[in-house]
Structure 1
Amino acid sequence: MLSSALALASGSAIGLTLGLIGGGGSILAVPLLVYAVGVPSAHVAIGTAAFAVAVNAAASLGIHARRTAIRWPCALVFSAAGVGGAFAGAALGKAVDGEKLLALFGLVMIVVGALMLRPRPKGGSQSAWLTRANAARLLPRLIGLGAAVGMLSGFFGIGGGFLIVPGLILATDMELQDATSSSLVAVTAFGIASASSYAWSGLVDWQVAALLVAGGILGAFAGTKANTLLARRKGALTQVFAWFVIVAGLYVGGKGLLAVV
């Protein structure tokens, strides 16, 4: 009963973070499942988190698609290239010892927190659409970056939005707002690929995943409303969250290293 309540609360925290600052929530999923909910296996935590992230991203994509123009050609090519990488990353992650995986995950959290402290990149002068005229220039970038980001996403079972957004901007010069919306296509695709791989190996706790998704929906509504009220302080909130992620990464990575040693 307590673990169910903690799973629901963890999902709410993730959804609240996503709604409030627009990213970073999925990076908390694995540590919350391991250290708060008490999921005994790092691999089960990663597989469960990947499923929840995919469902939440798909729901967010539906909302964004009604409000903004998704750059579908770019997003689909990036996602298609990344799905193969996500399957490869998931297979590699399952082969790594759970404690070592947590130690590496802690390192990633520290890097993510540091990246969030940096000023957000500005997009180019136009939001590019993939066309026959620019395909020769954009396709290699989209495929290469998509495969690399997908592998990292699959390995750690995270959405990877913090990597997908700059990846799309770097590949196509699209503006930040368009990259943020388009990134949800890849987050959904990578999450499904990772979750499928882990589920095939029996490494998804479906009951916890359902609670995580339910909590995430509730948290997202609250976070979206809070985002509107605190719009002027969004930068400060992002910095506070970034430092929280860094501290949490030090804790997760430290515990993982101690267990290995």
Structure 2
Amino acid sequence: MKYIKIMSAIAVIGIYMGGCSQEEPKKETTSSIQEKNKDNKEDAPVEKQQEEQEKKEQPQAIQTNEQVEHKQEEVPAEEKKEETTPLQPTEQPLQNNEQKVESNEKQEKFLVVIDPGHQQKANLNLEPIGPGATTQKYKVTDGTAGVVTKKRESVLVLEMAFILKEKLEAKGIQVLMTRTSHEVDVSNKERATFANDHKANLFLRLHADGSENKNQSGFAVLTPAEGNPYTKEIYAESLQISQTIVNKMRENHQVKVNGIKFRDDLSGFNWAKVPGCY
């Protein structure tokens, strides 16, 4: 479903650009008709010029009537109709159509909210893991660090987020981020609420989890668990998204893919009303 929405947005943009390019040929056609009529008058036979000279010598009333009849015979019916038809009424519907397409484009634009996990300083105050929950967890921790690089998780995932944002926007997808710097204090609940408020089509949470087991490595996708009362409305679509990502990652044989992990204890999932994965 999400891919259909992306293609619809691209199609709307294509229709809009095509509609804008249709006004100019009308102006060229009108100009060419006027030049054609001008050329016809300049190339009139000598006999016709003599007849017009003789008509000038006749009384003024007769001369006027004959000139009107002559002009009516000289200009074809189709050209008269096109010359006398005002261009202004045809421009207004085009403008209305453009405004309608622009409105549809905004409505159909696929929105991804990227959540670069963690932040520079942890906030160890507690918040419920879901609406009405009695179980509580830290609002946000400061994450892990690379074994070799020593780079902090919060730094790494923010770098990843900016790269992903650029690639998605190049495909015409709208992207928002829950944070764009390290000096923030945004809890997991607030990040999910941010995606809800903007009615995101996809809530993508970026993390680089660690393990005390040195033999543990690879790539995995976390998704809401089946039967979780907080995420039952987004479970099916979130799972579909997770499966799509895992299948795509398995095409890269240099990456160890650990599959999908189901979770029901993550605040970022339980407060979300839009589909997503971690």
Q: TM-score with structure 1 length normalisation?
A: 0.23
Kindly indicate whether structure 1 or structure 2 has the higher relative contact order, using CA contacts under 8 Å at least 6 residues apart. 1
Q: Which of 1 and 2 has greater Rg? A: 2
Considering fraction of residues, name the structure with more helix.
1
Considering fraction of residues, name the structure with more strand.
2
